[in-house]
Amino acid sequence: MRNIIFIAPPASGKGTQSEMLVDKYDYVHISTGELLRDEINSGSEKGALIQYKMNNGILVDEEIVGSLLKNKLEGLNNKRFILDGYPRSIEQANFLKELLEEINLCDVICIYLDTDEKSLMNRALGRYNCPICGRGYNVYEETEKPLHEGMCDDCDVPLIHREDDNEESFIKRFNTYKELTEPILDFYQKNGILYKVNNGGTPEETFQNIESVIK
Ligand code: ADP
């Protein structure tokens, strides 16, 4: 199975699909958003700068994201990876291409989750996660609500909401995606490694669509 770069708008379910792939196949999930949130939680000075940018829906400086990513990719020990949240610009796509060549990891495809963009804002504003098991909920979707308001069904602990999942930050993230990230699709199309996957159904249906590409 080949390494995967996921491209999709914010709150389109890349994280959920990545977790499903990790559960079923032996992938390592590399989310630059998660790497940055870990850096914030470490309490470092760099973390404070990152937090400001993330909360405001602004891209974090390339030197910071690039070096976190490089460390992670260099420590893979021959495991396959899913890249979620990187690249987000043509500049990052070029950096990634060179990095992967340097460390000899060129068996990569780009999966684009073709997503209905109308409902994304509600998905972001309504999403909550369990801090223990990571399970995701959505308070605006009847089928994705927790049984008891604000609590994880499995762990019985309070759910958390990402600070940057507010309206203002979401609009900025979405616009940045349209302006800087979407043009990368053309880049991967020209490289002959772009696969478009329908993300219009349930998460399970999207997962099956992804499986038919990676197999
Ligand atoms: P989403 O896909 O919902 O926007 P992420 O967790 O992928 O969520 O990213 C959250 C934030 O982290 C982004 O708005 C940005 O501030 C920062 N970030 C994540 N990946 C990158 C990246 N590759 N380059 C710059 N900033 C990034």
Stated pTM of the model: 0.91
The pLDDT score that the predictor gives to residue 78 is 84
**Residue type at 119 in one-letter notation:** S
Q: Is the omega angle on the peptide bond into residue 87 within 30 degrees of 0, that is, cis?
A: yes
Q: How far is the centre of ligand 1, averaged over its atoms, from the C-alpha of 54 (Å)?
A: 7
Asked if 114 contacts 14 with a C-beta cutoff of 8 angstroms, the reply is no
Q: Which portions of the chain are predicted below pLDDT 70?
A: none
Ligand 1 atom at shortest distance from the alpha carbon of 14: 2
d(CA 72, CA 135): 24
- Burial of residue 161 (CB within 10 Å: 0-12, 13-18, 19+) is middle
Ligand 1 atom at shortest distance from the alpha carbon of 9: 2
Sign of the alpha-carbon torsion through 132, 135, 138, 139: negative
Tell me which residues have their CB closer than 6 angstroms to ligand 1: 10-11, 32-33, 36, 53-54, 57-60, 65, 85-86, 88, 92, 164, 173
Q: Give the tens place of pLDDT for each residue, 163-185.
A: 999 999 999 999 999 999 999 99
E-assigned strand segments in 9-51 = 27-31
Sheet-wide strand order for 3-7: 27-31, 80-84, 3-7, 108-114, 194-198
d(CA 196, CA 112): 5
Q: How far is the centre of ligand 1, averaged over its atoms, from the C-alpha of 187 (Å)?
A: 20
Asked if 11 contacts 120 with a C-beta cutoff of 8 angstroms, the reply is yes
Give the containing element (helix H, strand E) for 20: helix 14-24
The pLDDT score that the predictor gives to residue 119 is 85
Ligand 1, atom 14, lies closest to the CA of 57
Per the structure block, which two tokens stand in for 136? 């995701």
Asked if 2 contacts 161 with a C-beta cutoff of 8 angstroms, the reply is no
